[in-house]
Amino acid sequence: MSFEAALKELESLSEKMSQGGLSLQESVEAYSRGAKLKQHCSQLLKAAEEKIRVIDAAMKEDDIEELDDDGLF
């Protein structure tokens, strides 16, 4: 499931729960589903953050190599 789809479902569950129209059992099930969606979103965000760190590190190395090639260092 994509981050956007999971977030949309999580927002929908949150809205349903805050409206108060769910039975106790439905509330527990919604809470459980919401907890799983939150965990899924967190994992996707961590993976995206790691990819950005890798890209940033590679770009910094490329910038240094380009400067070296230009004879500036």
Give the pLDDT confidence score for residue 69 in this predicted structure: 58
DSSP per-residue letters across the chain: --HHHHHHHHHHHHHHHHHT-S-HHHHHHHHHHHHHHHHHHHHHHHHHHHHHHHHHHHHHHHHHHHHHHTT--
Q: Which domains are present in the chain? A: 3-69 (1.10.287)
**pLDDT of residue 52 exceeding 70:** yes
What is the average per-residue pLDDT within 54-58?
Answer: 86
Give the pLDDT confidence score for residue 57 in this predicted structure: 86
64 band by pLDDT with thresholds 50, 70 and 90 = low
pLDDT digits (tens, 9 = 90+) for 6-43: 999 999 999 999 998 899 999 999 999 999 999 999 99
